[in-house]
Amino acid sequence: CPENSNYTSCGSTCPATCNNAAMPADCGASTCVETCECQEGFVLDAGKCIPQAECGCVFEGRLYGLGEEFWGDNTCTKRCVCDAATRTAVCRKASCHAREECRVEQGIQDCYPTSYGNCTAYGTTHYKDFDGGRFIFQGTCVYQFTGLCKKTQDLVDFQVLVQNGQHNNQLLSSIALVKVKVYGKSIVISQKDPNKITVNNQLANLPYHHKRKISVYRSAQDAVVETDFGLTVTYDWQSQVTVVVPGIYADALCGLCGNYNGDVSDDMMMKDGQTTLNPDALGESWKVADVPGCMELSKEQCPTLLEATKQQEVAEKGCGLISKVDGPFSACHALVDPFKYVQSCVHDFCLFPDQQAVVCQQISHYAATCQAAGVTIGNWRTDDFCSISCPANSHYELCSQSCSQICSSIYTPVKCPERCREDCVCDDGFAFSGDECVPMAQCGCLYQGFYYKLGETFHPTKQEKCQCQDNGSVLCEEVPDTDETECKVVDGVTQCQSDTLGTCVVTGDRSYVSFDGLAFEIPGACSYILTETCAGDDSVMSFVVKIEKDSRQKRKVSTVQALSVEVYGLTLTMARGKTGTVMVDSILYNLPAILNGGQVQVHQHGTG
Ligand SMILES: [Ca+2]
């Protein structure tokens, strides 16, 4: 028998529940059944015996949970809450907003939006704001894409930030990072961590759920952040970000996406309320954070645009594909006018002629728009043009509507898309687990809203160490909470480590002291790996530290000429005689430098 119940050979056919009034009137007192009967003071609720005091409220014959909010009528004019103290429903007058209507969706009556606003940035980097305004902005700092500005009680506060990529001091083509701040969570989707996200700086697999308020999942090639109040943010880990907001946010938003008041003439409004025609001025006003070396310097005009247009319009493997009369998108031309898409494709090609990906992103944007409109498109990718390399055990499909081959669908329902999309689909017998296709039997675990791959270990709290095991079960054990172990989030992974640091020292011409204290001498004057993480251990962050000694000349000692650290895909070089600076890849930074969003910090300490 379940908890708080006992077996009886002759129990009531109508045991007491939280809603006794809903019991059939003809409950025969004379008949009895073999059953598990709730103990004294407990009643049956959803198959469990719970204390009677934990029962919810009965309102007009229906049972509601403690604290649950619901509509007390079917026209959404009476909002009720099941009061936990009195266990009765307390109702007040209420109504839907102007841009909402009262209806039933998936069995739930509520106020639902009648319209949605849509703001997109794609390519290098073309913005289309909520009211349809278009501009190009390529600033590489962190900017407010959109967010709530007119705060009211009814609207949930949120903020969406974006950052363009930057590479070797060249403006790179596209949005590289999207940050969604809502309900106290900061969710980052970044080019740097494909197929993953970070939640409050903690690296996480998809899907991720926070109560019933936020859910982040993968849909085709996109990460989708969805909230319970109708905000949807989509980013493809490459270049395209889309924010959809319900109509009640009209005229309450601000940022690069504009105010969403239906009037395009007051878009490109800077933070001080002035409108501008200069996207860089607009961007600068919505800057929320600096990144070392970041700037607003959009390349809007391309001097060779005419030539580029001529070349691309006829190119078999280029922008011309979009509008080609008998091409893969011909069925779409009537529904989605290709003109603007070809234009922005040619524009991006002109700015970045040596980056094929730029053209691919533009064509892919048109392809996705066509598919969203329900058009069947032809195959437009080839092995040597915009090919998608799918991970192991998966294959590319032009029109995929799959939503079942996802491990997490075992535990929580997965939204199936209405229309098909280009996607990498797991081969038969495989399912998507985090960022890879694994045999169905090797699916992972959902635990406290996070998804973990099979075998993955994690620390939900300082005192707990858990592992995802077979069949989705999670085994946790307590870890001794001693002062020597300190847990912290390192690159989004909670790591508990000893706070005693290992130290390895190189001094002078030839002296070395190893981590474990062995002193030895090597007089050589080459480049050496001082230390590096050895392959085979995924649990630690990988890095390499190298030293370069200058070739010994007569009567000169061979001192360390340069020290380089390779970590997080960056190469940091500190060179002799260049005090106060660090070379990051090929760019010289003045100290202190904060890199990769704070993952690497370089600062001067004493004279070093
Ligand atoms: Ca406007």
Ligand 1 centre to CA of 302 (Å) is 28
Ligand 1 centre to CA of 160 (Å) is 18
Ligand 1 centre to CA of 162 (Å) is 20
Ligand 1 centre to CA of 65 (Å) is 42
Number of Cβ atoms within 10 Å of the Cβ of 313? 16
Query: How confident is the model at residue 366, as a pLDDT?
Result: 95
Structure tokens belonging to residue 600: 């690497």
Quick one: 537 exposed, middle or buried, by C-beta within 10 A (0-12, 13-18, 19+)?
A: exposed
Ligand 1 centre to CA of 282 (Å) is 14
- Beta-carbon contacts of 258 under 8 Å, excluding residues fewer than 6 positions away, are 119, 129, 130, 131, 133, 266, 267, 268, 269
For 529, phi then psi, to 5°, come to -85, 115
Going from N- to C-terminal start, the domains of the chain cover 1-55, 116-289, 305-372, 505-602
Ligand 1 centre to CA of 263 (Å) is 4
Query: How confident is the model at residue 364, as a pLDDT?
Result: 93
List per-block mean pLDDT (blocks of 10 residues) for the chain, which spans 608 residues.
Answer: 88 81 68 85 85 86 86 93 90 91 86 93 91 91 94 90 70 82 95 91 91 90 93 93 95 96 94 93 92 77 81 83 94 94 90 85 93 94 92 92 78 76 91 90 91 90 88 88 57 57 80 84 82 74 86 62 88 83 78 77 69
Structure tokens belonging to residue 351: 């700015």
Ligand 1 centre to CA of 286 (Å) is 16
Ligand 1 centre to CA of 268 (Å) is 8
Structure tokens belonging to residue 220: 């085709």
Query: How confident is the model at residue 354, as a pLDDT?
Result: 82
Query: How confident is the model at residue 2, as a pLDDT?
Result: 83
Give the residue from 52, 39, 95 showing the smallest Cα distance to 71.
95
Ligand 1 centre to CA of 250 (Å) is 9
Q: Residue 162 and residue 151: Cα distance in Å, rounded?
A: 21
Ligand 1 centre to CA of 345 (Å) is 26
Give the residue from 394, 388, 282, 299 showing the smallest Cα distance to 351.
299
Ligand 1 centre to CA of 132 (Å) is 9
How do 287-289 and 142-148 pair as beta strands?
antiparallel
Number of Cβ atoms within 10 Å of the Cβ of 32? 13
Number of Cβ atoms within 10 Å of the Cβ of 200? 12
Q: Residue 457 and residue 478: Cα distance in Å, rounded?
A: 13
Ligand 1 centre to CA of 257 (Å) is 9
Helical H runs in 265-304?
A: 279-285
> CATH for 1-55?
2.10.25.10
Give the residue from 253, 247, 282 showing the smallest Cα distance to 160.
253
Whether the bond between 207 and the residue before it is cis, its omega within 30 degrees of 0, is: yes
Helical H runs in 299-372?
A: 305-314, 320-323, 339-351, 356-372
Query: How confident is the model at residue 169, as a pLDDT?
Result: 46
Question: How many residues are present in the chain?
Answer: 608
Ligand 1 centre to CA of 441 (Å) is 51
Ligand 1 centre to CA of 342 (Å) is 26
Ligand 1 centre to CA of 335 (Å) is 26
Which amino acid is present at 546? K
Ligand 1 centre to CA of 261 (Å) is 5
Ligand 1 centre to CA of 92 (Å) is 35
Ligand 1 centre to CA of 243 (Å) is 16
Query: How confident is the model at residue 555, as a pLDDT?
Result: 56
Ligand 1 centre to CA of 133 (Å) is 8
Ligand 1 centre to CA of 254 (Å) is 9
Ligand 1 centre to CA of 269 (Å) is 8
Query: How confident is the model at residue 508, as a pLDDT?
Result: 75
Ligand 1 centre to CA of 368 (Å) is 26
CA angle 199, 205, 206 (to 5 degrees): 95
Ligand 1 centre to CA of 113 (Å) is 19
Ligand 1 centre to CA of 126 (Å) is 17
